Amino acid sequence: MPQPTHHQIKVEILAENDFCIAINKPSGLLTVPSALAPDKRTCMSMLRDQLGARVYPVHRLDRATSGVLLFARTSASAKKIAEMFSNRSITKTYIAVVRGHLLKSGTIDHPIAETKQSQPVEAITQFTPLAQIELPIPVGRYATARYTLLWLTPLTGRNHQLRRHLAHLRHPIIGDTIYGDGRHTAMFRQQLGIHRLMLHASSLSLPAIEATPPLAITAPVPNEFAQLFADYFPQR
C-alpha cells in the first residue's frame, strides 16, 4: 500500500483564533525547516499545507519533544505573541519523567549559553514532583531503578533549557540522548518498549489579544506516557 506524503498527513489542531493556531506536535518532527529535515517535513510546512496559508513560528519545541506548539497567522500577530513570550505573560507547562527521586518542589536558576560561542544568559525553570516509582530492574550498579514524574514550568525559553536544567540537577530526562543517562534510556527501550524523550508540552495559556478571549490550551498525554502511568503510576 502506498505511504501518504507529507501533504496528506495532517497535524492535530488544538485551538485557534484570528491571531494564532496551536497544534499537538508529535515527537520526532521538527518545528521549522532545518538541515536535519531534508524531506522538508516539519510542523510548519505540514500546517501550512493543511491550512493553505502561511503560518509563523513564535516558539519552538525540540524535535524529540511533543505537545502544544503555537504558530501565528500573520507577521504582525507573531510580533505581538513574541512580546508576550518575552514579558512572560504566556505560561507553558510540561510533564517529564526523570532519573532518580525528587521529593520537593524547587526552582532551577542556572544560566545557559545558547551557543558554544555565546555567553550564558538567565534561564529559570520551576519544577514540582507529581509521583515517584522504583522499578525492580537493575540499571548499572543498582538493583532497582528510581524515577520521578515532574511538572515543569520554564520562565525563560533557552535552547534545550529543560533538558539541560534537569541534567544540571543530576536528574536527567529519560530518553535524552544528548544530556541524559544512556543506561536508563536503554532500559526504557529494551524493557519497557519506550523509545522517545519523556518530555511533553502539556499546556499553554495565552492572554487576550485585542478583542479575542484568552486561550488555555492542553495537549493529550502521549501513548508512551499513558502506558507508563497505567503500568507504574497508578496513584497519579
The confidence score (pLDDT) of residue 229 equals 84
What are the two backbone dihedrals, phi and then psi, of residue 7, each rounded to the nearest 5 degrees? -75, -25
With cut-offs at 50, 70 and 90, classify the pLDDT of residue 3.
Answer: very low
What three-state secondary structure class fits 93?
strand
Q: Report yes or no: 97 and 121 within 8 Å, Cβ to Cβ.
A: no
What are the two backbone dihedrals, phi and then psi, of residue 44, each rounded to the nearest 5 degrees? -65, -45
Residue 7: inside a domain: no
Residue 3: inside a domain: no
The confidence score (pLDDT) of residue 114 equals 81
Domain count, the chain: 1
Residue 1: inside a domain: no
Mean pLDDT on 157-163:
94
pLDDT in tens, 92-147: 999 999 999 999 999 999 999 987 788 999 999 999 999 999 999 999 888 999 99
pLDDT in tens, 206-216: 999 988 999 99
Residue 2 has pLDDT above 70, yes or no: no
Residue 200: inside a domain: yes
pLDDT in tens, 168-177: 999 999 999 9
The confidence score (pLDDT) of residue 235 equals 54
**Rounded distance between C-alpha atoms, residue 104 and residue 149, angstroms:** 12
Residue 45: inside a domain: yes
Whole-number Cα distances in Å, 11 to 3, 34, 161: 16, 19, 25
Per residue in 1-32, is it b (16+ CB within 10 Å) or e — as a string?
Answer: eeeeeeeeeebeebbebebbbbbbbbbebbbe
Mean pLDDT of the chain: 91
Residues with active-site annotation: 62
* pTM, 2 dp: 0.91
Instruction: Assign residue 156 the CATH number of its domain.
Output: 3.30.2350.10
Range of the domain at 165: 12-232
Which stretches of 100-162 are assigned E, i.e. beta strand?
Answer: 106-109, 124-135, 145-154
Residue 117: inside a domain: yes
The confidence score (pLDDT) of residue 178 equals 94
pLDDT in tens, 22-67: 999 999 999 987 776 665 789 999 999 999 999 999 999 999 999 9
The confidence score (pLDDT) of residue 36 equals 62
Copy the grid coordinates of residue 225: 506516557
Alpha helices in 96-197 (DSSP H): 161-168, 182-187
pLDDT in tens, 176-230: 999 999 999 999 999 999 999 999 999 999 999 988 999 999 999 999 998 888 8
Residue 217: inside a domain: yes
**Rounded distance between C-alpha atoms, residue 24 and residue 39, angstroms:** 21
